[in-house]
Amino acid sequence: MPASQSVSIGLIGAGRIGSFHAESLARRLVDAELVAIADPAPGAAERLAARLGVPNAYLSVSELLANPEINGVVIATPARFHTSVVVEAARAGKAVFCEKPMALTLEEADEAIAAAKVANVPLQVGFNRRWDQAFQEGRAAIRRQGRLGPASALTHPRPRPLRWRPGQDAAMDDLLRNADPRLRHAFVAQPGGEAGGGHCGC
């Protein structure tokens, strides 16, 4: 499409992070227009759409994807649904921006990537922390030292359990998916095992 033409976006997920993306799409981006919101929770999409002046609100992803006006989607559902929604959106021919993490397993990530390739649609994952100044400074410090020693702790404002599995705890999930992958592998459990190599303090 011409560079000057506005891109019509559908938002899937009207929770906390979905509401943040909705605000950005509706009020801060020049060449994008939020035209639809979908969320299975009764009233969630309608309330957010009414607040932001978005013309379409749906209870199902399929309804949103059937809207021919939509060029691309922002996926802000709970992480366990990311892969299935990415696949469905790609098959519908929509460009996809997916909140982190793209998937809960490597197999699911491969499935999402393959669906986007087959459909020939863009797929982007929102690793916004990669550009955060504090994260950049941390990476620079690691590079100056020339190596990364064993990870011993990740901290979070609230106490969290030592034993953790992906998907068990939303706050720990968020903390780990924002960590550099070189740190994350030390804390994420292998299939059938517990997370190891560290603890999460308060």
Domains of the chain: 7-126 (3.40.50.720), 132-201 (no CATH)
Paired sense of beta strands 95-99 and 153-155, if any = unpaired
At position 116, the amino acid (one-letter code) is A
Report how far residue 139's alpha carbon sits from residue 129's, in angstroms, rounded to the nearest whole number.
12
Contact 11, 76 (CB under 8 A): yes
Residue 44 to residue 102: CA distance in whole angstroms: 23
Residue type, 160: R
Query: Which pLDDT value is given to residue 149?
Result: 64
**Can you tell me whether residue 104 is helix, strand or coil?**
coil
Cα–Cα distance, 37 to 186 (Å, whole number): 37
Q: Is 140 exposed, middle or buried (0-12, 13-18, 19+ CB in 10 A)?
A: exposed
Q: Note the pLDDT of residue 136.
A: 80
d(CA 141, CA 161) in angstroms, rounded, equals 29
CA atoms within 13 A on the CB side of 63: 12
CA 141 to chain CA mean position, Å: 27
**pLDDT at position 139, please?**
75
Name the helix (H) or strand (E) containing 75.
strand 72-75
pLDDT at residue 148, as a whole number: 62
Mean pLDDT by 10 residues, the chain (202 residues): 77 96 94 96 97 97 98 96 97 97 93 98 88 79 69 58 51 55 44 36 27
pLDDT value for 67: 98
User: What are the DSSP calls for 6-52, one per residue?
Assistant: PEEEEEE--SHHHHHHHHHHHHT-SSEEEEEEE-SSTTHHHHHHHHH
Give CA separation, 123 vs 26, 89, 115, in Å.
Answer: 21, 10, 10
